[in-house]
Structure 1
Amino acid sequence: MGSHVGKRAVVLGGSVTGMFAVSPLAEAYDEVVIVDRDELIGVREPRRGSPQARHINGLLARGARAMEDLFPEITAQMVAAGCPLTDLAGTVRWYFNGKPLRQTRAGLTNVAARRPVMELHLRERLEAMDNVRFMERHDITGLLTTPDSTQVLGVKLRRQEKDSIEEHLEADLVVDASGRGSRSPLWLEQMGYGRVAEEGTKMGLGYATRHYRLRFDPFGKDHSIICVASPQSPRGAIFTKTDSGTVELTTYGILGDHPPIDPEGFNSFVKSLAAPEIYEAIIDAEPLNDPVLFRFPTTMRRRFELLPRLPEGLIIMGDAVCTPNPVFAQAQTLSALQALALRDQLRAGMAPDPKKFAAAVGRIIDPAWEMTEGINLSYPGVEGRRTPMLLMMHRYMRALQAAATRDASLTEVFMRTASLVDPPTALMRPSVIWKVLRDAQQHATKTA
């Protein structure tokens, strides 16, 4: 268990990131208050403040392990409630460059649930904690600070009611988990801390989601069918079993090639994918709703760790710091790892140091960000600098993916990296490189 650190911590945002953060905070503070503009308690459907909740929810294997560490036995609870388990290398049918990878059980398990269902399970765990309180339907209007702005003392907020007045909620620590729309960059600049550097890549990504009840099963022993977009075919899809006996389909395209949301156009888009069984399954299925589109113009990373100083009493995490390409499903896993980093600092018996925490968040993000930003630049139409090293890596990754269609051990290595269990450097181990080069040579000889 953690050490006592303070009286009250306030979390801005009842998102998955915010709830991950509450777990370590509840060990260290007498009271933890979650403030959100939406109604939260008992909500089982997508919230207005969480537009991506209507789409595929992804928690990678390392994130699933971190969630279990933060909330022991939650995986078993979700499975008992009807959420299926999957193995990323063994029960997912991956298509890369139009060809399926060889499968192997690799222990890369996670629980598959729609985001509202995951939020509900996390929220119920927090509701059971005596020192956790929810403040629903409140707008955050600013921070409370000392006159010299060197310390944050709480937050200013207002109820979403007619004629409501601004309230002040004092806190020893404020955790900004309010997502990409976070106002921390603006607040910090107004407080004299300078402008937060931002970086990202214009992807022009758009994805549409629809839910179904199937009349026949295209999965067999598999849990999901995932067709990954490539420079040659920049369209992809994630087709997966989820809770309540339904299936969820999110299909996507980049650089403005977005799926139509009229049913006929949506089906036609799906028919163009490299995995024909997805179209064959949905064309005969019972749709449960109409397609919903979400546009994701750019990836984004805010470099809070590069600011010369930060005020005491404020830390920032989750999508407020980094929103990577959602196709890679990294965001929730990165948030869970950040929550574990927060727990490590709190268990030392002191309030988290904002600069040290920002640096720790940066180190967590670095390998995942560098890997996926490099993959984003494999698309010729995406703007960005392509070094000779990056171009060589693109060629190597194509060779590795081709070899993984014939060698399941390479699928495991690749998926361990994609799941953030192993670092990207694992793909460059001598034994892996040798297998990739051997496969390329053998395949070239067969096709010569």
Structure 2
Amino acid sequence: MRALAIASNSRLLIAIGAVFLLLILAAAAFVITSRGGGEAIGTTTGTTTPPPAAGEKTTTPAIYEATTSEATTEQAKPISVLVLFDVGGRGDLSFNDMAALGADRAAEELGVDVVFQTPQSLAVMESVLDAASRSGEYDLIVLVGFLWQEPLEKVAPRYPEQKYALIDAATRERYDNVASYLFREQEVASLVGIIAADIANNISRATGEEAKAGAVAGMDIPPLWRFHIGYLYGVQYYNQAMGTDVEMVWTYTGRFDDPTLGKTTAEQMLQQGVRVFYGLAGLTHVGMFNAVKEAAARGVIAFSIGQDASQEWYDPQTIIISGLKRIDVAVYTAIKDVVEGRFRGGIVSLGLKEGGLGLSDEEIIRYFAEIAAKTGQLPEGLTPEKVVEIVMSQREKWISNDGWRLVEELKQKIISGEIKFVTPQDHDTYDSIIEELKAGNLEAALES
């Protein structure tokens, strides 16, 4: 999921999900940027020292669900990689920055040459991709985000020898020269559900209020179905393990680009007693962040949870944790497969086992806070270290040892394959799973 936040006269971009970001981005001038993030005319190659990779690192090969194309042969010259961002480009504190992190890591560890490009608008994406493909300069072209799907479906058949990696989306037809990287969102959402339930339960014990965790979601679409199933599963997993009765309130706003709607929705949920909010609505849920922040200023104990990139820097007093969709891992894995001659066309599925999903830790919180500081978006009075300090203090106070224990327990069950979430293919199946989960039937969310 993708997100963009704009607050206090600052351009504030926050990652929520690939499905969301491009609905709200403004057009930017076409640029080709070096790994250092500056603008250049033409093509910039070479290597620079990247920031340290954040959070979990993985060298586990990706699991291929479809494989047929020939392996890459060794080349005398360095592997050349083009990373095509979607509109908005690097510096978004979101998907694009996560993609750059993975590419920078590949440049440092694998010795590849990386070039970054950002298209001016949706209208030129196909022509940009066609020109890059026609040039024959790149061993791999990485496309970040679902809006590259249609341009890629038109261009990939024209250049069967060109290898492509599509991140957080998949082509509708299979191409031997296209590897599509998708994420098993239920897995991270289930861990977030445990955390949210634990915080809600601890708030209830402190205040005597009913324990309620909620989510402000965007549109009623399949990626959100998967988040919904995982989140509710995690809440109910916690309830059954702890003997609690934390209620989960899920609200579809129908929008990804309306922070005012997100704020009023969260305010209504606050009035209903919800005290923990999971943001899954792009720019809309930035309004949710603001509503929770204002409620906390009035003395209400309430917290938000981000998704995709670390969002704690936006308000570390109330944004206590973020679920991560590790776009950097997908990009790094795609490049590594080309370097090692293991590129294959088809679907590559990433989850907790592959390091493609997780929860924000000190390293990645600090990394995104540093980007926010460098781009002038970090709130006044905060430093990256202060952000980390505040977040860790809030976690220490409001997330119990039992909560962390259950997170680790469920995580290991998922990694081992003991738990595999079902992916609903239609709305009726989705509705049925949710109703069963509400009734406490955890098996309804799992593959049989």
- Superposed pair shares fold, TM > 0.5: no
Higher strand proportion? 1
Q: Normalised by the size of structure 2, how large is the TM-score?
A: 0.29
Q: Normalised by the size of structure 1, how large is the TM-score?
A: 0.29
Bigger radius of gyration among the two: 1
